[in-house]
Amino acid sequence: MPLEAALLEILACPACHAPLEEQETELICTSADCGLAYPVRDGIPVLLVDEARRPA
């Protein structure tokens, strides 16, 4: 289930404050230096650095 566009506009990476981009079941930080991927569970973004996946 995609997130609303208005919500995506205001969400930011908790680690570096860069905008987030939705990809399948994750929100990906758009910063080249950070790049953390935050899960979306049951339509709710989990914006906790401890829950984020590091870039490959």
pLDDT in single tens digits along all 56 residues of the chain: 678 889 889 999 999 999 999 998 999 999 999 999 999 999 899 999 999 999 87
pTM of the entire structure? Answer: 0.88
Which tokens is 19 given? 């905008």
Which tokens is 28 given? 């990906």
What pLDDT does 55 receive? Answer: 82
What pLDDT does 45 receive? Answer: 94
Distance, CA of 53 to CA of 56 (rounded, Å): 9
Which tokens is 11 given? 């969400």
What pLDDT does 53 receive? Answer: 95
